[in-house]
């Protein structure tokens, strides 16, 4: 498989998902679509904040992930697991930053601090 197809199918798909979340955010709390954690589903205010914050982080880190993976594919044509690790790191950073923002802005019951 061509390394660029691999990068686009892994990291490019992540970037496309981030754009879908940005242009079509979830309207109400649900169990199928959006940033769903116990903390983010406490109430509508937390839900809206978490999804807006996560989407911004997700776009930034998905774009970084895509660019980094393309550069890596250019430098090393025999890439295997590296784009997937970059993808997982970008997702992890987005989730961690969102959870930190939720903890800074809301208490355990979902009330704004």
The angle at the Cα of 64, spanning 58 to 66, to the nearest 5 degrees, equals 100
- State how far the Cα of 28 lies from the Cα of 62, in Å rounded to an integer: 24
What local confidence, expressed as pLDDT, does residue 76 receive? 87
Query: What does the domain layout of the chain look like in residue ranges?
Result: 3-24+38-105
- pLDDT per residue as tens digits for the range 32-69: 999 999 999 999 999 999 999 999 999 999 999 999 99
> Exposed, middle or buried by CB within 10 Å (0-12, 13-18, 19+), for 65?
buried
């Amino acid at each position: 498989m061509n390394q660029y197809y691999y990068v686009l199918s892994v990291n490019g798909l992540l970037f496309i998902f981030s754009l879908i979340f940005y242009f079509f955010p979830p309207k109400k709390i649900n169990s199928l679509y959006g940033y769903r954690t116990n903390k983010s589903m406490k109430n509508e205010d937390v839900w809206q904040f978490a999804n807006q914050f996560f989407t911004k982080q997700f776009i930034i880190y998905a774009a970084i992930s895509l660019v980094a993976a393309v550069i890596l594919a250019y430098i090393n044509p025999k890439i295997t697991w590296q784009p997937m690790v970059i993808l997982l790191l970008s997702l992890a950073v987005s989730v961690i930053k969102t959870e930190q923002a939720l903890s800074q802005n809301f208490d355990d019951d979902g009330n704004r601090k």
